[in-house]
Amino acid sequence: MINTNSRVDGEKIAKKKFGQNFLKDETVLHKIIESMPNDDDPVVEIGPGLGDLTRYLVEIKDVTAYEVDKDLCEHLRRRFDAVISDGRLKLRCTDVLSHWDQESLEDRPYHMVANLPYYIATNIILRALKDPNCKSLLVMVQKEVAEKFSAQPGQKAFSALAVLAQSAGEVHLCFDVPPESFVPAPKVMSSVLRIVKKRTLDDSEFETFLKTAFTQPRKTLAKNLSARFDKKDVVAALDSLDLGPSVRPHEVETSLYHHLYKILKGDIDGREENSGKPTQQQ
């Protein structure tokens, strides 16, 4: 049995240094559970907080929860003593990013569920996209962050993050969550973002290429890329893909970014870089 009487005052216990906002809205909690994949794979929950979502997760799946706050870990141990004892819940009291540097979060395929503090949300999502054991992500983040990952080409919010997410799988902004659904209430709207992975994308050079492409979103893609590649090669590469010299970064399809990257690296049609420098198309 879960100790449902083990309650704390979320307003008092929340710590600013961890960006803690505890989800209290039962309707939202149920919508998150309903949005999860229906299979037998375990769940990794990042930031279980007070355990209000965790109590639903352990009823349907094996859960490994990562919590950095030692005080919350003690609360979670008391609240979930029975399910920890029977093995349905493994509680890891550590910084998930530091743990990730040492080993995988789970040694088998898993789904990630998280209410992510805004200051680490992007980093967590990008790490999950690179983790071959992570099959999907269902994360609550600041709406602005969710839009950057879920935006489509042509939309102003389309970014390098959207290209990376779409390269890994299917991305969907599920629903918004208002500030009053949390204790304490944040100052911004939140959203639940789902990414179902089809592949693992772990290419640091491609990430660097995208950062260059989106360095100044209001500038042309040609101008941004010319900061790293020879301008004539950039214009020629764009032309080969039927992209004009005035195209903006947010107007280019994800698949075309992969083609553009390969062309500028000299990998198309068997051409390989001879110098190792990405400033000349061989």
CATH number, residue 236: 1.10.8.100
Same domain, 154 and 255: no
Return d(Cα 52, Cα 234) in angstroms, integer: 51
Cβ-contact 191, 28 below 8 angstroms: no
**Does residue 277 surpass a pLDDT of 90?**
no
Return d(Cα 93, Cα 72) in angstroms, integer: 9
Q: What is the reported pLDDT for 94? A: 93
CATH number, residue 171: 3.40.50.150
237 belongs to a structural domain: yes
210 belongs to a structural domain: yes
275 belongs to a structural domain: no
Cβ-contact 39, 50 below 8 angstroms: no
**pLDDT, tens digit, 9 for 90 and up, residues 172-213:** 999 999 999 998 888 899 999 999 999 998 899 999 999 999
Verify cis geometry, omega within 30 degrees of 0, for the bond prior to 184.
Answer: yes
Q: What is the reported pLDDT for 20? A: 61
101 belongs to a structural domain: yes
Q: What is the reported pLDDT for 266? A: 82
4 belongs to a structural domain: no
Q: Are strands 89-92 and 134-142 parallel, antiparallel or unpaired?
A: unpaired
Helix (H) or strand (E) holding 136: strand 134-142
Binding-site residues for S-adenosyl-L-methionine, in ranges, read 21, 23, 47, 67, 95, 115
**Does residue 279 surpass a pLDDT of 60?**
no
Boundary of a domain, candidates 197, 220, 248:
197
Neighbours of 2 (CB within 10 A): 16
Same domain, 213 and 170: no
Burial (Cβ within 10 Å: 0-12, 13-18, ≥19) of residue 98 = exposed
Binding-site residues, in ranges, read 21, 23, 47, 67, 95, 115
Same domain, 94 and 146: yes
Range of the structural domain that residue 258 is part of? 204-270
**pLDDT, tens digit, 9 for 90 and up, residues 24-62:** 999 999 999 999 999 999 999 999 989 999 999 999 999
**pLDDT, tens digit, 9 for 90 and up, residues 126-144:** 999 999 999 999 999 999 9
**pLDDT, tens digit, 9 for 90 and up, residues 78-132:** 999 999 999 999 999 999 999 998 888 999 999 999 988 778 899 999 999 999 9
Q: What is the reported pLDDT for 272? A: 47
**Does residue 273 surpass a pLDDT of 70?**
no
* Total domains in the fold of the chain: 2
